[in-house]
A = this chain, B = another copy of it.
């Protein structure tokens, strides 16, 4: 699976990628661009990535997740380029035999992704001001 896209993230594709009749619990996470108000209303965010590494690092994270809970299925994608307010920048789906595993592993993947994926974001405000955001 490709973990980097310029297009809107489709939750249905992530869910389909992990679905199986052996897995009774599926957890999906979407990180979406907030309108924000710290510096003024955000118009959109431009995500820049070290694309080759993003692809490899996301694969590694997902492989590690499978290693932690072998009977699970995991999928993840990060959007790059312009992402409008209210649209998703990242999606992660985990299906597991039981719900507690699905939640725990999905949250683990999200935390690892935030910590490890080589992605940066430039926030563009309604007034046109642009700045790199580190968070």
Having A26-B30, A29-B103, one finds 12 other A-B pairs with CB under 8 Å, namely A11-B15, A24-B33, A25-B30, A25-B31, A26-B29, A26-B31, A26-B32, A27-B27, A27-B29, A31-B99, A99-B107, A103-B107
Assembled-state Cα–Cα distance A34/B95 (Å): 12
Interface residues of A, dominant DSSP = mixed
Which residues does chain B contribute within 8 Å of A31, judged by CB atoms? 24-26, 99
Assembled-state Cα–Cα distance A33/B26 (Å): 11
A128 within 8 A of B: no
Determine the residue in chain B with the shortest Cβ distance to A27: B29
Assembled-state Cα–Cα distance A12/B13 (Å): 11
Which residues does chain B contribute within 8 Å of A86, judged by CB atoms? 19-21
Within the complex, what minimum Cβ distance (angstroms) separates A21 from chain B? 4
